[in-house]
Amino acid sequence: MNEQELNNAISNPRNLGEMTDADAVGTVGSPECGDMVRMWLKFTEKDGQKVIDRASFQSFGCQTAIAVASMATEMLKGRTVAEARLLSAAEMSTPLGPLPPMKIHCGQMVEGALKAALEAGAPAAAAPATTAIPARLGHLAESLGEAAAPKPGKLKVVFE
Ligand code: FES
C-alpha cells in the first residue's frame, strides 16, 4: 500500500461531510470491525444521461476507508449511474496500491455505500433523473449510536 498517498488523503480528505441537498444516500456498516461509511450523491443531467455531479461521505472508520472514500468521491464526478455501478473497491483504491488483506473490506465498505446510494437514487434503469429524495438524509453520527464512540487506535472524524 502506498503510505504517502494514504497520508495525503487522510491529511486532506476531499468531499468530507453531509450533503444537505443530495438526491441519494447510502450507508453500510461492517460487522467485522464496527465501522460505518455513508455516501451522498447529487445527480445532474448531461447529454440526456443522468450523471453524478457531486459525491460526499462521512466515515467512522479506519484511515484506509476514509482515504478510499475521499478518492472515490473525486472519481465519481461526471460518471453516469451505469459507470458508477461498475466501479469496484479495487478501482476506487487504485492510488493507494493493493490493499493488504486485512484492509480489503475497508474499500468494500466504500463500494457498498456507493452501491446503496445508487440503488436509493436510481432503483430502476429507466428511473427518471428526478427520483424522489428520501425524506431525511440524516447525519451519520445520528445512526451510529454507541458505535460513534472512537475506538482505540482509530481515527475519529469530526463532523462540522
Ligand atoms: Fe473496518 Fe477499515 S473499515 S478496519
Kindly report the pTM of this predicted structure: 0.78
User: Ligand 1: residues whose CB is within 6 Å?
Assistant: 30, 33, 35, 61-62, 64-65, 105-106, 109
User: Catalytic residues, which ones?
Assistant: 33, 106
Domains and their CATH numbers in the chain: 3-123 (3.90.1010.10)
- pLDDT given for residue 88 in this prediction: 96
pLDDT band at residue 4, thresholds of 50, 70 and 90?
confident
Q: How far apart are CA 74 and CA 97, in angstroms?
A: 17
Nearest-atom number in ligand 1 for the CA of 30 is 1
Q: Mind listing the pLDDT tens digit for each residue in 8-56? A: 888 899 999 999 999 999 999 988 789 999 999 999 999 999 999 999 9
Nearest CA to ligand 1 atom 4: 62
Q: What is the mean pLDDT of the chain?
A: 82
Nearest-atom number in ligand 1 for the CA of 33 is 1
Q: Mind listing the pLDDT tens digit for each residue in 59-106? A: 988 999 999 999 999 999 999 999 999 999 999 999 999 999 999 999
Using alpha carbons only, give the angle 20, 120, 157 rounded to the nearest 5 degrees: 45
User: In a 10 Å sphere around its CB, with 0-12 CB exposed, 13-18 middle and 19+ buried, how is residue 102 labelled?
Assistant: exposed
> In which residue are the cell numbers 428526478 written?
130
Nearest to 20 by CA among 136, 155, 141, 142: 136
Q: Mind listing the pLDDT tens digit for each residue in 119-132? A: 987 644 433 333 33
**Interval between CA 37 and ligand 1 midpoint (Å):** 10
